[in-house]
A and B are shown apart, each in its own frame.
Chain A
């Protein structure tokens, strides 16, 4: 038994990771031409990048390995770590325990980080690729003077439905309350996104600071409990791809992944309006390698890099070099890049007053545990 364990461990510890990683051919450098100049001034240093899970082109399926390419180009080591939500990223950051050089939070979280003085202005003189960013994603409410952030991804929430299970073409969030589809309806498993749907439906501001508005939305959500199959995040892929559920709200880009596995799925932007989000690159106050971080951010905006990320993540790119590239798989893809004229109103989430925030969290508990 002891011998067995020893052998087991020895083999596992050494053979697998090292054998496999040594086979890795890092052929991602070389051919690509970059727009900006990259020096090797910071060779030997490292930067700590903190990003969403599965939110960068990482070399799988023959894709471009962004971090590796950056390392080869500049000699800067990229320590890449992921998080699962804006809030858990905030928890780690606000503890002040670790110095990250690059983070990629969403709009409302950036607003909060700015107001709490946790991120620092970027040096735009070094971000020579910034002119590629679509002007409609500049000067957004959370960073009106374009000082702190560079847009990375843009996304819209829409309604995904299974055409074999749903009659006709739904055009309203109200179908998520339709008893006809009882036990086939999914919704978000986080309060902000779930509330937003109810708020659009009953015509209440998603950023309301009025408790009564949140009460009304919570009541609406409770009505939904009886027809709801599940509250999901990533589970939505299994549920919708497998035909286990008929209706789900989720991000437009992810629908494109799902439809590859289940061609019966369709997508629509409900008429009442929907949530739009921008995830932007920022640098925390306590970053330790600011200049290298600037170089990294500039690199992320490179046409080839941004294209690789857009292909991998499947969300809309705020980078004009990507959207205008005919080789891009989602070139002029209507769902990702809808014509504003066909799109109902879109709303960004704003950072909400802490008191209101804990108020709606409380309401959400009530929704979840309602009988």
Chain B
């Protein structure tokens, strides 16, 4: 009984989560030019993606930015979490935690504008003509990503046995070795989920990006957001549908192959 109730809940939640995606995929096959009236089935918007490379530039930019920002944020953030974990002074620890929370508490638009003002100020100081560019955008993304990495890693560190690293050192490892061989593996799941979250947030940001990007680099969400006077056309739907189906396919593929691995393991253990 309880189990059925739980399954019903799951069903509803997943249905609602995916309903707009289904609608999106549906309208990506629209032969008309809008996303409201379905005029007939057509693959033309998909063909459009393959023949028109303009839309691919923002897509590539988005992925590049999200991946770079997430990797750098994960490295700095993981290091920071380890540092915070070992900090002894309570006051300093609290300060660090508070500062870490700021980007999460700050509305995006404020983060964006205040970073822009900072970049412009520094740009004027050093006399740069383009104070905003790809690197300022990257810095902005790393800045709002780091806290999420820290917050995913810290709890994992708290769960690890503090004496583990010490024990490794007693057994002759250098502290660096001890970190990479003992501490890092035990917090790896936190690092991965931190990375994932950073990547996800970067992928979808448009507010902070608007203010911190330069004149030559535009991401997909910005591209979509700026169509304020004009309707979103189905080729954008088609693009996101492709991304969606691709991610889903990779997902299923890895899970099926994972299933085979498991079976093999089971067979061996027999």
Contacts and interface: CB of A to CB of B under 8 A. Distances in A.
B36 interface: yes
A60 B218 contact: no
A82 to B, nearest CB: 4
A234 B231 contact: yes
Most chain A beta-carbon neighbours within 10 Å: one of B37, B64, B229: B229
Interface in A49-103: 50, 52-55, 58-61, 65, 67-68, 79-85, 88, 92, 95-100
Interface residues of A, number: 64
B32 interface: yes
Nearest to A48: B215
B228 A234 contact: yes
B264 interface: no
A261 B215 contact: no
B210 interface: yes
A5 interface: yes
Contact of A98 (B37, B49, B131, B247): B131
B130 A97 contact: yes
Nearest to B191: A2
A330 interface: no
B231 A238 contact: yes
Given A7-B250, A13-B63, A17-B63, A60 B243 contact: no
Contacts of A98: 130-133, 214-215
A370 interface: no
Interface in B196-231: 196, 199, 210-211, 213-218, 222-223, 225-231
A54 B251 CA distance: 34
Contacts of A83: 226
A254 interface: yes
A242 interface: yes
Given A11-B250, A79-B216, A24 B53 contact: yes
A142 B195 CA distance: 51
A238 B35 contact: yes
Contacts of A320: none
Contact of B53 (A11, A12, A20, A233): A20
Contacts, number: 178
Contact of A97 (B131, B196, B218): B131
B50 interface: yes
B132 A97 contact: yes
Contacts of A234: 227-232
A17 B228 contact: no
A20 B50 contact: yes
B123 interface: yes
B120 A97 contact: yes
Nearest to A14: B63
A92 B131 CA distance: 11
Interface string B168-210: 0000000000000000000011001001100100000000001
A260 B37 CA distance: 10
A275 interface: no
Contacts of A251: 229
Contacts of B124: 96
B69 interface: no
A16 interface: yes
A148 B230 CA distance: 27
Contacts of B64: 13
A219 B223 CA distance: 37
Contact of A53 (B116, B215, B226, B243): B226
Given A67-B54, A98-B133, A251-B229, 7 more contacts: A9-B199, A53-B230, A80-B218, A98-B130, A237-B231, A241-B34, A242-B37
